[in-house]
Structure 1
Amino acid sequence: MSRMLTVTLNPALDLFTATERVLDTHKLRCDAPQRHPGGGGINVARVVHRLGGDCAALYPAGGPTGRTLRGLLDQEQVSSHCIAIAGDTRESFTVHERASGRDWRFLLPGPALAAAEWQACWDAIVRLAAPAQWIVASGSLPPGVPADFHARLARHARERGLRLVVDTSGAALAGALAEGVYLVKPSLRELREFTGQPLATPADQLAAARALVQGGQAHLVALSLGAEGALLVTPELALQAGGVAVPVASTIGAGDSLLAGLLWALDSGVALPDALAHGIAAGAASLLAPGTALCRPADVRRLRQQVRVTRL
């Protein structure tokens, strides 16, 4: 059994292409598309695997896109547990505009899961989570899955002494935090939505992260700040890591890569400052690759030397 299990209930087959400029009503001539397995937890598992960690990905999949997604994961030799569903796995489509360097992202809704299908996912989680050290629930919920799924998972993890990591948003995030999790990784936008506050200053952002820890909603808070880096807040200390300037091929999957690098390092037993630095390096390394190709280990090691972590 793997030490880390990621849960992605709404995976996607990610398509990525590029064109010179995105214009309405025009036929846009695009490059040949790249295809990658996608979804928050799947991306985390891919990066942890590349870094040498012991991780398995659990996800539902169906139809031709589901078969393609599963085949791509097999090509990367990522250990996975696929729950067969009747619906077709969704696609996500991204167009990179070369003239501006911006990405245009189009996310389709996932297939509705029948009660028996999401229950099969739950049963697999319960079976596979027991021997794991980390459970990572990342991404959105597809139609048909109970809105309190993450809250149920948080309750299950707490009752069995498992380390649950949550990276989601909206009601799913609020439900999980109400039960309490080991680690939460919100983006600044997600934390603003959760708190209802603008969090316009670094002091406000730090105070909001500390409030989650002090309120027992999370033992660790990893607040992603995009190009500005990240904060890591624990009951004992707060750390800040600045971003690393790199040429950006695509921003997709950077947050997932940050989380994967952080978890891989924590599971390896390194000190918290070094773990945060590895997360920042993995996130920055993912920016170098188009679409959701994600990071290369050599780039993570190289960029790790440029990360500076300070104690607040």
Structure 2
Amino acid sequence: MILTVTPNPALDLTWRVDRLTVGATHRADAGAARAGGKGLNVARVAHAQGASTLALTTAGGRTGIAFSAEIAASGVPHRVVPVAAATRQSVAIVDEELGDTTIINERGVNPTDPEWAALFGEVVDALPSARVLVISGSLPPGAPESFVPLLIGTARDAGVPTIVDTSGAALVRAADAGASVLKPNAAELVEATGIADPVDGARSLIARGAELVLLSLGADGMLAVTASDVLHARLDAPLAGNPTGAGDAGVAACAVLYADGVRDPETVLRRATAWSAAAVLMPLAGEISDDWRTLGGRLVVAPHTSTLREDSP
């Protein structure tokens, strides 16, 4: 089973407009609302691909009611810890003409200590059935610094590998705690490490204790960085579409393989890059196109060089 933890979930709202103009009034058809947050997107993708999953998260307030109803209707196995604060919202505005997506994320509200303890208790209860633990998404302001390392250490004691997709200081703490896989994007890596070169930044996390860093590079694909090797995977040509959730799909691919006992970095990199690309073709996060195998056949995989394509968006 793939066990995902989303410590800062969101009710995701998506609207599509003909052309987004700053300062203007726009008309749009009814938007889509769904339970979101990176860990839930990971669980959705993995579940849709036939993997056994359990998504753990929180919900509260009026937005939490809509959030809980939507995740229940999705069919994704889950447990929701009630919290007092309202679940945050994330707004995505898709520009149909340009194919760009503008995202506004509320920061979220920090749960109380008993609420954090309840979420941790759900993880402890579920770990005996888990093959991999995924900790994914941001942490709300004021969240306990010990939470992510505690989850990683608890999973390690249970013999369960961990995949962490977060940002800021929490990413460094996850490396220090010995996460099996870290999955930042380039901006998150620089923010967390202060190192401009992506390979050097990733290797600094390896030196701290992570085993593998999967580094998202947008249209330039993905790097897989270990202590000894750096591989670069990208499509033969860029894709147009909605990149929201592409990184989550890559995490889902990694989680499915790790749950099956696959640890080979190149195999993980190929699947993660293909699923990330397949997510770009879908209108909402948490979904991938059935064409992911075809996309996988279009991948160019080679040892990393410092020159990336100049056609990245």
Would you say same fold, with TM above 0.5? yes
What is the rounded CA distance, in whole Å, between the counterparts of 2:73 and 2:296 in structure 1? Answer: 27
* 1:258 lines up with 2:256 in the alignment: no
Given that 1:134 and 1:162 are in contact with CA atoms closer than 8 Å, whether structure 2 keeps it comes out as yes
Q: 1:157 aligns with which of 132, 155, 158?
A: 155
Q: 2:212 aligns with which of 208, 220, 235?
A: 220
SS in 1 for 2:159: coil
SS in 2 for 1:56: strand
Sort the Cα spacing of 1:144 and 1:119 in 2 relative to 1 into closer, same or farther, 3 A: farther
Q: 2:171 aligns with which of 154, 170, 173?
A: 173
Given that 1:258 and 1:280 are in contact with CA atoms closer than 8 Å, whether structure 2 keeps it comes out as yes
Q: Percent identity?
A: 36
Which residues of 2 match residues 225-240 of structure 1 at below 5 A?
Answer: 225-235=217-227, 237-240=229-232
What is the rounded CA distance, in whole Å, between the counterparts of 1:25 and 1:179 in structure 2? Answer: 45
How much has 1:153 moved relative to structure 2? 2.0
* 1:287 lines up with 2:270 in the alignment: no
Which residues of 2 match residues 241-280 of structure 1 at below 5 A?
Answer: 241-243=233-235, 245=237, 247-270=239-262, 271-280=264-273
* 1:19 lines up with 2:5 in the alignment: no
Aligned residue type for 1:234:
T
Name 2:196's counterpart in structure 1.
198
- Count of aligned pairs between the two proteins: 303
Given that 1:113 and 1:143 are in contact with CA atoms closer than 8 Å, whether structure 2 keeps it comes out as no
SS in 2 for 1:111: coil
Sort the Cα spacing of 1:22 and 1:311 in 2 relative to 1 into closer, same or farther, 3 A: closer
Name 2:296's counterpart in structure 1.
304
* 1:137 lines up with 2:129 in the alignment: no
Unaligned ranges ≥5, structure 2:
305-313
What is the rounded CA distance, in whole Å, between the counterparts of 1:244 and 1:117 in structure 2? Answer: 47
How much has 1:277 moved relative to structure 2? 1.3
What is the rounded CA distance, in whole Å, between the counterparts of 2:121 and 2:157 in structure 1? Answer: 16
| CA RMSD across the alignment | 2.1
Given that 2:235 and 2:298 are in contact with CA atoms closer than 8 Å, whether structure 1 keeps it comes out as no
SS in 2 for 1:70: helix
SS in 1 for 2:155: helix
Name 1:202's counterpart in structure 2.
none
SS in 1 for 2:50: coil
Aligned residue type for 2:181:
L
Which residues of 2 match residues 65-214 of structure 1 at below 5 A?
Answer: 65-199=63-197, 205-213=198-206
Name 1:31's counterpart in structure 2.
29
SS in 2 for 1:180: coil
TM-score, reference length from structure 2: 0.89
How much has 1:149 moved relative to structure 2? 1.4
Aligned residue type for 1:225:
L
What is the rounded CA distance, in whole Å, between the counterparts of 2:22 and 2:106 in structure 1? Answer: 20
What is the rounded CA distance, in whole Å, between the counterparts of 2:47 and 2:286 in structure 1? Answer: 14
Q: 1:41 aligns with which of 39, 42, 45?
A: 39
Q: Which moved more, 1:301-310 or 1:77-86?
A: 301-310
How much has 1:193 moved relative to structure 2? 1.5
How much has 1:184 moved relative to structure 2? 0.6
Aligned residue type for 1:104:
T
